[in-house]
Copies of this chain bind each other. A is one copy, B any other.
Amino acid sequence: MTQDDKTRIQVDIYNQTYTIVGNEREAHVRLVCGLVDQKMRELKNNNESLDTSRLAVLTAVNVMNDYLKLQEDYAKLQRMVEEKEDK
């Protein structure tokens, strides 16, 4: 999702309004942004001194960490499928 594409959807994340522009369905965009908002609020609860900018960066770090772990799991499952096919 970038800011220079087709559909324009306004969302609130951590009390700021963003216009998300892209090709995704509105429900999907709202789901994604809702999860980011939720993660930011969870992190804020654990680190009350964090300002919005640092909070958002650490949220991105957390989600990237989850993404890489899922990527590893996906690769493992894929190898398992390939090994089964070879038998």
Contacts and interface: CB of A to CB of B under 8 A. Distances in A.
12 contacts: A1-B62, A4-B47, A16-B54, A24-B65, A28-B68, A33-B61, A35-B68, A36-B60, A56-B57, A57-B59, A70-B70, A74-B74
Interface of A: 1-4, 13-14, 16, 18, 20, 24, 28, 31-33, 35-36, 39-40, 43, 46-47, 51-54, 56-68, 70-71, 73-74, 77-78, 80-81, 84
Contacts of A60: 36, 39-40, 56, 59-60, 63
Closest 5 CB pairs of A and B: A56-B56, A53-B53, A60-B60, A63-B63, A56-B57
